[in-house]
Amino acid sequence: MTARPRLQCKVLDERLRDYLPHYATDGSAGMDLRALLDEPLTLNPGDTHLVRTGLAIYIEDPGLAGMILPRSGLGHKHGIVLGNLVGLIDADYQGELMISVWNRGQSPFTLAPFERLAQYVLVPVVQAELDLVDQFSDSTRGSGGFGSTGRH
Ligand SMILES: O=c1ccn([C@H]2C[C@H](O)[C@@H](COP(=O)(O)OP(=O)(O)OP(=O)(O)O)O2)c(=O)[nH]1
Ligand SMILES: [Mg+2]
C-alpha cells in the first residue's frame, strides 16, 4: 500500500477536537463528518439545511478532490441525504466544509449535535485540456445515449 496523502486540516470550532474524522476500519473509503450544532436540529419532510462541520481541509494537490456523500443508513432508513446529492470539494478550497442536509423522507428527523451525517471521500482527479475539432473518428456508440442500448 502506498503512503496516504497528508491533508492540512483546520479545526474551526474547538468542540470538534474530540470528534476528528477518521477511517473507521482499515478498508473504509470515507471518513465520517459530524454536524456542528449547538442544539438538536429537526428537519421536516422536504427541509434542507446547511450544516457546519467546524473543519476546513485544504487538499492543495489538483490531482485530488474531496467528495461528500450521504451515509447509507441515514439515507435509506430515514431519508436523510444531501441537498446537492453529492458535494464536490475542490483542491483549492480552504473554507469550512459544509453539508447540505435534505430530508427527502416522509417523517421529521432530528439531527443530534456532533452526529455523523455524511462522509468525506478523497478521490483522484485528472484535469483535461479541450482540443477543438469539427469531426470525431467513428465510435461504436456514436451519439446514442439515454437508454439507446435498451433496458435488458
Ligand atoms: O457539499 C459541499 C459542496 C461544496 N462545498 C464547498 C467546497 C467546494 O470547493 C466549494 C464550491 O463547490 P461547487 O463548485 O460545487 O459549488 P458552486 O455552486 O459551483 O460554487 P463556486 O461558484 O464557489 O464554485 O464549496 C462544500 O463545502 N460542501
Ligand atoms: Mg463551482
Residue 19's SS3 state is helix
For residue 108, pLDDT over 80 is answered with: yes
Q: According to the annotation, is 88 in a ligand binding site?
A: yes
How far is residue 48's CA from residue 101's CA, in Å, rounded to a whole number? 5
Question: Distance from the CA of 85 to the center of ligand 2, in angstroms?
Answer: 15
Pocket test residue of 36, 50, 60, 89 for ligand 1, highest count of atoms within 8 A of CB: 89
Look at residue 107 and tell me if it is in a domain. yes
* Domain containing residue 60: 8-124
How many domains does one find in the chain? Answer: 1
Question: Distance from the CA of 66 to the center of ligand 2, in angstroms?
Answer: 13
Query: Which pLDDT score is estimated for 42?
Result: 98
Look at residue 116 and tell me if it is in a domain. yes
Residues 92-101 pLDDT 10s:
999 999 999 9
How far is residue 74's CA from residue 69's CA, in Å, rounded to a whole number? 11
Query: What's 29's domain CATH number?
Result: 2.70.40.10
Interface confidence, given as ipTM, is: 0.98
Look at residue 46 and tell me if it is in a domain. yes
Residue whose C-alpha cell is 494537490: 61
Look at residue 39 and tell me if it is in a domain. yes
> What's the pTM value of the predicted model, to 2 decimals?
0.95
For residue 97, give the nearest of 39, 49, 28, 36 by alpha carbon: 36
